[in-house]
Structure 1
Amino acid sequence: MRKQWLGICIAASLLAACSSDDGQQQATIAPPQPAVCNGPVVEISGADPIYEPLNATANQDYQRDGKSYKIVQDPSRFSQAGFAAIYDAEPGSNLTASGEAFDPAQITAAHPTLPIPSYVRVTNMANGRMIVVRINDRGPYGNDRVISLSRAAADRLNTSNNTKVRIDPIIVAQDGTLSGPGTACTTVAKQTYALPARPDLNSGMGSASSMPQDTTPADNVRAISNDTLKSDDATGAPVNSSGFLGAATPLASGVLEGSEPTPAPVAATPVTQPAPVTAPAVVTPPAAGSASGSFVVQVGAVSDQARAQQYQQQLSQKFGVPGRVEQNGAVWRIQMGPFASKSQAASLQQRLQSEAQLQSFIAVAK
């Protein structure tokens, strides 16, 4: 009898072990689940995710300070939350794990185990800001930090060394399509500010005269009075908002606004004849490169039209520049401008970043 019970117990133990092992294997090899969105779709910017082959030397499992690190093989199953560090070394002072010179002005980050290179969506969990960041280095180690952001990435997110962030990978296929946890409820904006300016072949390659902004008449750029930039209360409190545009809005004078009126026709003096005849009006052609409305500065995109219009009106009032809301599929883009030259758009983009901590990018107006 005891032998029978012993046999039953052994058989039950083996069945339980097999069931546990099978369940673990099933959890490991289950196909990736598609990104599910249960909220509004927003448009984010940052690093431009492109397909890149993995670095041959930077994706091996390794040990550091007695701790083993295993490289993530399937980023589609990876998400992580924790405190972010800021890596603020001098440009070119160090080489990253990918072999590139470190540049704090690039939107990059270091992570202990994510593939190199790869892309992630980093979310500041305190203010809801999100950007795309390129992983090109290893670290951080210690202090319970899960990612080390470059200065440019940290500034875009408005993070400090005590800010909690969420990391969601973005997987780039060879055909450029994006997938993974970092694409849930977001679309990645295609950016134009990283592209080189197109030279004017008639005036020489790379010369200053070939840049459109240099041909813009100086009298068409005016400084906005500080009286138009006051906040609604005496303390100058920031406008309360959340998500992509949640940021303080203390402003100073000197916001540049481009106003490029269409030249008025000049009437010629009538010729004295028996029957007075008025000569055709002569219109002075505009200078090359000064066509009105060539560029806009996009500061965000939300899925609610009324909310987008409210943000646009607030920004136009605070910065004294025109703006508009443009529909793009399921989202509404908030754009400032249009501006006649890229230099005018860049001036506003710089002020948005330095004075209101708003991330933005320059796009060609449609």
Structure 2
Amino acid sequence: MTPPRLIALLLTVLVMAGCASSRYSMDKDAAPVASVDVNQIPSVVPHPVTRSSVGNKSPYTVWGKTYQVLASAKGYHARGLASWYGAKFHGHRTSDGEIFNMYRYSAAHRTLPLPCFVRVTNLENGRSLIVRVNDRGPFHSDRLIDLSYAAAKKLGYAAQGTTMVQIDAIDPDTAEEVRVASSPSSPDVTPSTPTMPPSAASDGGLFVQVAAFTNEAAAQRLVSRLRQLLQSPARIVDAGDQSKVIHRVQVGPFSSQADATAVKEQLQRNGFDSPILVGASVGGSS
């Protein structure tokens, strides 16, 4: 083989070896090319989970620094800097073996057990969101948590890149929060919003249903928060039986659908994922 051909062959082998050793096809992370409507993304519903058999090795070392994974997320509260990750990692496996989807609400954390659920509140604008922690990172010393691109956009900091946040772990065994609307049959299906009957306003007004809980104390806390945020009345409506009572949190009543819709949109701007309009009689008063 002539030297030029030998050199060409060696270069080809080196390039192929480099591609094979690289986990990602992109050198730098980026936002998705197409715009993302975060109001169409299903909320994360906390539920009891089994600790993953992978991703929870403790201690573990990255970039010369050693980390201890917490035995439980229960009681975890922290404040720090949040960043986000997106297109570079989209479609690749997270630390606990799930597939990272930048269009879903998830997060990476260095020491929380995988998986778990936390509420992240943007301290700059007050927006909050529940995410599923299923990955390890970020490993920059100045950052506390990495959110998926969609979560960062929902919290209002995707464009600026980072923001200060409050992280509060959610204990799914106490059923802190459940969706108001029926849960989607799969992560790619968004539940439809019920259509209001024309007579709803004349039957006693409209309400904006914000969330539903199996934990009454959690429902009471949200009522207090909504009254302070909106300066509007809020109530709890109970449904179910003795074995399982659902406490629905509603704001109102409103005399017109326009007024109710305006409050619904205000709630969405403040990080509430799926408020819906309901008639006064839905669920019965508590």
TM-score (norm 2): 0.56
> 1:305 and 1:130 mapped to 2: Cα distance?
13
Structure 2 SS opposite 1:81: strand
Determine which of 191, 198, 209 is the counterpart of 1:260. 198
Answering whether residue 30 of structure 2 is matched by residue 56 of structure 1, we say: no
Unpaired runs of at least 5, structure 2:
1-41, 186-191, 212-220, 239-246
Shift in CA distance, 196/47, structure 1 to aligned 2, threshold 3 Å: closer
Question: Alpha carbons of 1:157 and 1:114: their partners in 2 closer, same or farther (altered >3 Å)?
Answer: same
Looking at structure 1, the residues matched to 86 and 177 of structure 2 have their Cα atoms a distance apart, in angstroms, of 27
Does 2:272 correspond to 1:359?
Answer: yes
Unaligned runs of 5+ in 1: 1-44, 179-187, 198-210, 217-257, 263-291, 313-323, 341-346
CA change 1:103–1:348 in 2 (3 A) is: farther
Q: Which position in structure 2 is the counterpart of 1:303? A: 224
Residues in 1 aligned to 2:98 and 2:132: alpha-carbon distance in whole angstroms: 12
Query: What is the aligned partner in structure 1 of residue 101 from structure 2?
Result: 103
Corresponding position: 1:168 with 2:168? yes
Matched to 1:111, the amino acid is H
The answer as to whether partners of 1:302 and 1:308 remain within 8 angstroms in 2 is no
2:98 & 2:229 partners in 1: Cα distance?
39
Contact 2:117 2:131 survives alignment (8 Å): yes
The corresponding residue for 2:251 is 334
> TM-score, normalization: structure 1?
0.45
Work out which of the residue numbers 170, 179, 191 in structure 2 matches 1:191: 179
1:189-240: per-residue Cα shift (whole Å, max 9, x none)? 320446248xxxxxxxxxxxxx997xx7xxxxxxxxxxxxxxxxxxxxxxxx
Structure 1 equivalent of residue 132 of structure 2: 134
> Any conservation in 2 of the 1:72–1:115 contact (CA below 8 Å)?
yes
Q: 1:295 to 1:331 in 2, by over 3 A?
A: closer
What CA RMSD, in Å, does the superposition of the two structures yield over aligned residues? 4.4
Larger of the two Rg values belongs to structure: 1
1:362–1:328 distance in 2 versus 1, CA, 3 Å? same
- Matched-pair contact (CA < 8 Å) for 2:223–2:235: no
Give me the identity figure in percent.
29
Q: Does 1:325 align with 2:205?
A: no
Does structure 2 retain, via aligned residues, the 8 Å contact 1:158–1:357? no
| Structure 1 residues 348 and 77, CA gap change in structure 2 (3 angstroms) | closer
Structure with more relative contact order (C-alpha pairs < 8 Å, separation 6 or more)? 2
Report the 3-state secondary structure (helix = DSSP H, G, I; strand = E; otherwise coil) of the residue aligned with 1:155.
helix
Q: Distance in 2 between matches of 1:304 and 1:85?
A: 27
Q: C-alpha offsets along residues 86-141 of structure 1, whole Å, 9 cap, x if unaligned? A: 11227852211121111223221000111000112222222333332211011111
SS in 2 for 1:75: coil
Q: Tell me how far 1:170 sits from its aligned partner.
A: 2.4
> Partners in 1 of 2:223 and 2:264 — Cα distance?
22
In the alignment of these two chains, the number of paired residues is 208
